[in-house]
Amino acid sequence: MLRVKKISVVVLLFWVGLGYAQLSTVMNKTTYPFWIQVPEKQPEEKLPLLLFLHGKSLSGTDINRVKRYGVLRAIEKGRKIPAIVVAPQLASGSWNPDKVLELIEYLQKNYPIDEQRIYVCGMSLGGYGTLHFAGKHPDKLTAAVAICGGGNEKDGCRLATVPLWIQHGDVDYIVPLSESQKMYDAIKKCNINADVTLTVIKGGNHGSVERLFHQDELYEWLFKQVRK
């Protein structure tokens, strides 16, 4: 079972002075092309990895679409994220958990990533992708946030081994709140003590919950989690 410990605010404050390189694209290295931003670091220092999986509307072959909302949009609006941030693009269909793993393994081989601090978040189709990945490869990540998505209830016991924050608006008419609720219930059915939280956003619709990527709470919660 995955175990995590919480790091203090003092550790997070260390990151305030980090410099940040411009976002850049990497093509033809993995199945999914991706955007990446790498903070400046001290020699021999390893960094957390934050992977963002977008929703269906950003799929395609124009990778600039991935900047329209989510983590990259937050970065472009000035947010400093203390991690190597990667946002792949899906051409069509659904996120494949094995191809997400392929991407993570490529990043681990080519960038200074701390394997004890690997985080995945996603919205809508990316929320499904996040829970599908965590459900198939729970030992490959530290924690995850799934927003207005869903998943496979049969993955409940594997998901119960990963700290998860599931969030959904209560007036979402694209992906109903019940999709997140059933995943929360499946996880708790397997392990009542599982580290999973379901936050229902009052008045939140399918688009308005994007604001979560522009707020501190999502990042603070993720970066508190560290695998032992």
Over residues 196-223, the pLDDT tens digits come to: 999 999 999 999 999 999 999 999 999 9
User: Taking the alpha carbons of 179, 164, 145, 116 in that order, is the dihedral positive or negative?
Assistant: negative
Over residues 4-18, the pLDDT tens digits come to: 544 433 334 344 445
pTM: 0.90
